Structure 1
Amino acid sequence: MCIGGSFGGGNMFQSNQAFAMIEYKTQSHVSEMKNIQDVVGEKVKYNYALKEARMVTSVSKDSIYYTVNNSSVARAKKEFLGDKMIVSATNSKISPKEDLMALVGQEIVASLPKTIDTKVMAFENDMVQLGEGSAVMNVSKEDFLKTAVLNPLYGNGWIFGIIMAVFVGIVIIGGIKKIAKVTDKIVPFMVVIYVAASLVILGMHFDQIPNAFGQILSGAFSGIGIIGGTIGVLIQGFKRAAFSNEAGIGSASIAHSAVRTKYAASEGLVALLEPFIDTVLVCTMTALVLIVSNGNGEIMTYGQEIKEGVQVTSQAFESNISWFPWVLTIAVVLFAFSTMISWSYYGYQAWSFLFGRSKKVEYAYKLIFCLFVIVGAASQLKSVIDFSDAMIFAMLVPNMIGLFFLAPRVRDELSRFMKKVKTVK
């Protein structure tokens, strides 16, 4: 399972997110082009409002519940006010003063934001034809120019994957460690820059920090938050947390086991810092930056799925420090590169345990690992995440069982180390 984890979370996801960040930073708004006709035949990313009919099932103090594909979904009341929601029976907007209990049993039409990657087929008068084959849609030129962006790298993730795979291969197959050493020095520097930039932004919005924490707490304990807590935190939250800090899946222990020490517990205590720094400090700072930068919803809409978190983070930083997204892009690529190298080591330890340590076996694993770099960059994010989550879950289950049975041994090691610490004092 560790081998699968190295191919998935430690490889495919990293290359996918690195390419997504580069793709995002190289796109440009169609409205900025001098000759709009030049966009014909090009791939673009287009945002539009998708109208969906939904049946309201119940209303609570701060949430409205409705059905989607026979499942109950909760949304904050404020999302139902204004232009986004229309009551089908009256063809009217939902007023803030309206008795929302009257909506129970009624159908509403929601205008939900949707983003598609498509091809511009033609400009005809004031209309733009998008799509290929039978999947063609016509939109007004005005709406098209408001949101459409050129996506020159769309569909070319495999090219980036090959480039990244070559560099990874140079390090793990060619044995040229200089690149890895340079990366090892640059990555901590990038972390310092990221944290510093986060602190600067939080300093700029210092008066909003209490409100940001308030939004986090109120959202967690609201009606929508409780449903999100049961489903989102316990399932989605745990998956992302394990993805972020690798706690409990057994990968970090492979690296820490290589350390020479008389007391294993001392290295275990060092390892405890990783999830604290990663999840408690860095992720909390990122969340606060997103909230204080979001204002009236310019960056994201609360309660709606965020498909590209790294892009939203980039927008949040850009709204405060215009040049920082380029630094963030470099950081993401370097983080991805260093993570791939680390996970190649983790996966190889499991691979060699199963198949031995001959050169042929080693090169076979490393070649497959590099191929997965290309696959990850060329694949859709959802497919990559689904595969990575499955592999990490498969690692977590046997590891947690092992931890349960080894708990007495851990306790003994910790007691032995603490006795030594007290003796030194």
Structure 2
Amino acid sequence: MNLDSQIDSILSPVANKISGIIFSHVTIHGVRVEFLILLLMIAAFYFSYRTRFIGFWGFKHALDLITKKYKHEDTIKRKKHGEVSSFQALTATISASAGMGNVVGSALAVSVGGPGVIFWMMVAGIFSMALKFAEVLLGLKFRQINKDGTSSGGPMYYIINGLRAPWIKPYTPYLAKIYAVCCVFAMIGGWNLFQINAITTQITNVTGLFAGQRWVFGLIVAIITYVTVIGGIKAIGKFTSKVTPVMCSLYVLSAFIICLLNFNHIPHTIALILKEAFQPQAIVSGGVWGCMLWGFRRAMFANEAGLGTAPIAFSAVKTSKPVAQAFIAMLQPFVDTVIVGAATAFIIVVTGSYLNATGIEGIELTSRAFATVCPFFPVLLTFMAACFVLSTMLCGSYYGTKSWTFLFGESKATTRTFQIIYCLFIIIGSAMNLKSVVNLSDAFTLFLAVPNLIAVFLLSDIIIKELKRYCRRYNIGYFKNLK
């Protein structure tokens, strides 16, 4: 038995027990529904209703803000606390979500749920925009400004600083610490071990590089990661603001080329997606409910709406306008799910890669779709996936660092400690396939929704109050004429 298997055999009983609790589920019409996925769906619908479907009427304003067609005078002229620009924070959160999850997860969703999943993924992505708006607004409103001018924010801070009702205030420190602990484990597992192991395997399979010496690739990535993350969110933001737009554009362009080469199949593919969304075939159990659930499950994991990660990054923005940044943050679920995630799923369907794919899943399905262009295209996919993974791990390091320093105090020593631990796990993850650790981190990732959504639901009136005040002041959107 090798070392991987020995570690897995020790951790598996614990991982299975914890995962079994966190992934508790009910069966509806023959479909397994996890309680926490259902909670995220309810939250997305709830905040879409409370904001009167802000994902639709607020989309143009979000674009105007990020492109600076609409400028807030006091934000432009006054020096504000914070470290990064709105665009850098947006690209950081997109990077954090657009890793192997979008490449692998979307492919897996189609292989299990059928073509109709694409429609429900896009619907879920649009509804998720309201939930993302809500949590980012809270992250900025209740962020903590440190002595050195840097800022710390996220669910830990709006749990402690926002929930002040006498009946819950004694419990807020525990709730915040639960979130921080889960976030640390989630970042080391899902944002680190899973990402580096998946991309190392892909590079080895496609190019033959690092075969037998996978740890060397992990070491290279760990060095790049450490050199970047020691610069904090400023360095991460500079990196993602340059890499993420290029990689997303290149990925969508590649998908467009694949669609052009399969142009005759596009009308049939669109018709198939719409038909399968409401009349799914035997590939998915539970009929339309099962198909919709797979779409929402994939979307919620892909864009992280409701998990509270994006507020950690956006809390570092130089601004005095939480609502304006919340509008900008809405673009992240749209890019990750409606554009990148849906593009992955669409090319798999239009090329027929999901058919007769027994034993093939994840990035192999996406790679098969890319291979329909030319033998070189899977190599291009591998390059883009590697860039996505690096960006994801950089942002995961920041999320984990902020959670770690919340638990052990804001200092250079505590920050460096987590960053070193994080980079060591990159090397370990590249060489070892620790399934139990990754499964455990998946459970912790989903559990982030519990403390986060407790706070977001309880503070929902503040969210709506701030939104209405903003709309009336700047004569914007649905609430501009409402009292």
1:352 alignment partner in structure 2: 405
User: What SS does the aligned partner of 1:166 have?
Assistant: helix
Moved more, 328-337 or 409-418: 328-337
The higher-RCO structure (CA 8 Å, 6+ apart) is 2
Q: Tell me the percent identity.
A: 39
| Aligned with 1:195 (options 224, 227, 252) | 252
Unaligned runs of 5+ in 1: 28-151
Q: Which has the higher helix share?
A: 2
Deviation at 1:328, TM superposition (A): 2.0
Give CA-to-partner distance per residue, 1:180-229, whole Å, 9 cap, x none. 84564233212111111211221232231222133334444335234376
| Aligned with 1:365 (options 387, 406, 418) | 418
1:9 pairs with 2:228: no
Q: Distance in 2 between matches of 1:223 and 1:195?
A: 29
1:410 maps to amino acid: I
Closer/same/farther in 2, CA of residues 179 and 329 from structure 1, 3 Å limit: farther
1:406 pairs with 2:459: yes
| Aligned with 1:333 (options 355, 361, 386) | 386
Q: Distance in 2 between matches of 1:155 and 1:276?
A: 39
Judge conservation of contact 1:263–1:413 (CA < 8 Å) in 2: no
1:301 pairs with 2:387: no
2:320 alignment partner in structure 1: 262
| Aligned with 2:286 (options 209, 227, 230) | 227
Give CA-to-partner distance per residue, 1:266-304, whole Å, 9 cap, x none. 11111111111211122222222111222xxxx443685
1:215 alignment partner in structure 2: 272
The total of aligned residue pairs comes to 295
Judge conservation of contact 1:245–1:278 (CA < 8 Å) in 2: yes
Judge conservation of contact 1:183–1:334 (CA < 8 Å) in 2: no
Give CA-to-partner distance per residue, 1:5-38, whole Å, 9 cap, x none. 21122222221222122112124xxxxxxxxxxx
Deviation at 1:305, TM superposition (A): 6.1
Q: Distance in 2 between matches of 1:379 and 1:240?
A: 26
1:284 alignment partner in structure 2: 342
Judge conservation of contact 2:308–2:449 (CA < 8 Å) in 1: yes
Judge conservation of contact 2:207–2:379 (CA < 8 Å) in 1: no
Deviation at 1:414, TM superposition (A): 0.7
Q: Which has the higher strand share?
A: 1
| Aligned with 1:249 (options 295, 298, 307) | 307
Give every structure 1 segment of 4 or more consecutive aligned residues whose post-TM-superposition deviation is greater than 6 Å. Answer: 174-180
Q: Distance in 1 between matches of 2:409 and 2:356?
A: 50
- TM-score normalized by structure 2? 0.55
Q: Distance in 1 between matches of 2:380 and 2:213?
A: 23
- TM-score normalized by structure 1? 0.62
User: What SS does the aligned partner of 1:261 have?
Assistant: coil
Q: Distance in 1 between matches of 2:356 and 2:453?
A: 34
Closer/same/farther in 2, CA of residues 331 and 270 from structure 1, 3 Å limit: same
User: What SS does the aligned partner of 1:335 have?
Assistant: helix
Give CA-to-partner distance per residue, 1:214-262, whole Å, 9 cap, x none. 333444433523437656753x655543332121100011111212333
Query: Residues 314-329 of structure 1 correspond to what in structure 2 (within 5 A)?
Result: 314-329=367-382
Closer/same/farther in 2, CA of residues 222 and 243 from structure 1, 3 Å limit: closer
Unaligned runs of 5+ in 2: 1-181
| Aligned with 1:205 (options 262, 266, 286) | 262
Q: Distance in 1 between matches of 2:389 and 2:438?
A: 15
User: What SS does the aligned partner of 1:222 have?
Assistant: coil
Closer/same/farther in 2, CA of residues 419 and 280 from structure 1, 3 Å limit: same
Closer/same/farther in 2, CA of residues 385 and 155 from structure 1, 3 Å limit: farther
User: What SS does the aligned partner of 1:277 have?
Assistant: helix
Q: Distance in 2 between matches of 1:184 and 1:339?
A: 13
Deviation at 1:406, TM superposition (A): 1.3
User: What SS does the aligned partner of 1:195 have?
Assistant: helix
Q: Distance in 2 between matches of 1:411 and 1:176?
A: 29
Closer/same/farther in 2, CA of residues 7 and 301 from structure 1, 3 Å limit: same
1:43 alignment partner in structure 2: none
